[in-house]
A = this chain, B = another copy of it.
Amino acid sequence: MPELRAPTPAFLDGLRELLGPAGLREGADAAPYLRDMRDIAPGRAAAVLRPGTVEEAAEIVRRCAEARVGLVPHAGGTGLVGGQLRPEGVEGMVVSTERLNRVREVNPDDDVMIVEAGVILADAQAAAEAAGRLFPLSIASEGSARIGGVLGTNAGGLNVLRYGMARDLCLGVEAVLPDGSILRSLKRLRKDNTGYDLRGLLIGSEGTLGLVTAACLRLFPRPAEQQAAFVAVTSPDAALALLHHVRAAVGEQLSAFELLSGVGIGFALEHVAGTRCPVDPVPEWSVLMEVGGGEGIGEALEGALATAFEAGLATDGALSQSDQQRADFWRLRESIPEGNRKVGSVASHDISLPLSRVARFMEEAAPALRAIAPDLRLNPFGHLGDGNLHYNLFPAVGRTRDEYAQAKGALTRVVHDLTHAHGGSISAEHGIGRFKAEDLVRYGDPAKLAAMRAIKAALDPHGIMNPGAVLG
């Protein structure tokens, strides 16, 4: 493990001079960059650096490499695994990409846009829409998440089923590598076999191999017609059968397929104003799906659902009759995380499973968890279409999360052990950050871990980039 050093006063003076008053935040001004929304463990940093150009970012990294000063990259700060906060170790710096916030180009002829790392995801979506195109990546935090973090963590979200993860949506990157050199590779090509896939390696490396400063993102045609359906099903297994049934009918035009539990809907209805459930009473299990395509795609969904009802795959449901109603369906889905926060989870898990294992996992997980804490409330929900569940555990009515604090580790261990046993992933879309670094070692393939460490040591020999994240 290379040794890091705290920045000296002279080092900080040099950065102040380089970056000017807008480029450096200290003391109370730095505090917002050192907290996350869950407020678990605040980060520490001598200062927050806010480069205004990629060249300034490169000079920061070069100086930190020379002085062996650690750097924690910071984008929108919405990460859920502590990747953007470094609470321990020798004090280093935070580098925020928020001033690199230009949409450099939106090119509908090439179906791409070039955006800087500080652009907010929702603004990138809006820029695409203004050019008559779709940038399909959509996550709950899109109003604050920034492109640098979206790529750093290889964000997933609602539309992975159809359009893929952040890595799949990015054709090229500009990045500062750990020696301060600038990788200028904003390719806008679907096909480019000139050497190793550094783009793919940087995306999802959570800032441990470099700092993405800009990206060339793929754009798609906006579907002429979109329709959503909210459908009650008897079980997660039935939801999967419904998924296969609908996909056989509409293929890749199925863009989202979300599982909702009655528990989760209940949390949203109780704690988030303006939510309502399209089906009464609230089903124990339901699915929210959406299709988009040419004219007639809504009809195709309706037809598929009609045969699904006949086959007993669905028991009740509603098709959106307007864009407003479609938005209302989604509002319910998107209120579940907020409802969860209000209730306060005992433990939350971002897992993915092979589709063929989801039902069995659920059957096995519930009794194993209840053997530890019999009165737990379970709220598994999420992107069932791509096997990704947010498998979250809540206190019984009238109890608080603190009363389960002792059991938390054992509960998470049950979920992760079972996930691993079924060939799943203990981090589907949130990444490893600092919270899951130990789990990566526990469940990761040893050859993969060794190769990761070798790559990290080769590209970042002084270990300055996001120290402690991913590889611990």
Contacts and interface: CB of A to CB of B under 8 A. Distances in A.
A203 B271 CA distance: 47
A156 B191 contact: yes
Interface string A175-214: 0010001111101111111111110110111000100000
A242 to B, nearest CB: 13
Interface stretch (A3-11, A12-20, A247-255, A259-267): A247-255
B452 A455 contact: no
A310 interface: no
A153 B195 CA distance: 10
A190 B110 contact: no
What is the copy number of this chain in the assembly? 2
Q: Which of A168, A197, A386, A430 has the most CB of B within 10 A?
A: A197
A447 B189 contact: no
Interface stretch (A96-104, A141-149, A313-321, A419-427): A419-427
Interface residues of A, number: 90
Contacts of A116: none
A73 interface: no
Nearest to A168: B168
A226 to B, nearest CB: 12
A411 to B, nearest CB: 20
Nearest to A356: B109
A432 interface: yes
Given A430-B193, A440-B195, A447-B181, A459 B454 contact: yes
Contacts of A109: 240, 244, 355-356
Contacts of A204: 193, 195-197
A111 interface: yes
B189 A424 contact: yes
A415 interface: no
A197 B208 CA distance: 13
A318 to B, nearest CB: 23
Interface string A414-439: 00000000011111111110000000
A409 interface: no
Interface string A392-408: 00000000000000000
18 contacts: A109-B355, A111-B355, A181-B450, A184-B447, A188-B354, A191-B386, A192-B352, A195-B204, A195-B440, A196-B452, A220-B251, A221-B247, A252-B252, A253-B293, A294-B300, A454-B459, A455-B458, A458-B458
Given A160-B190, A193-B428, A196-B452, 7 more contacts: A109-B240, A181-B447, A189-B387, A192-B425, A195-B449, A221-B252, A294-B300
The 7 closest A-B pairs by CB, nearest first: A458-B458, A200-B200, A190-B386, A191-B428, A192-B425, A109-B356, A181-B447
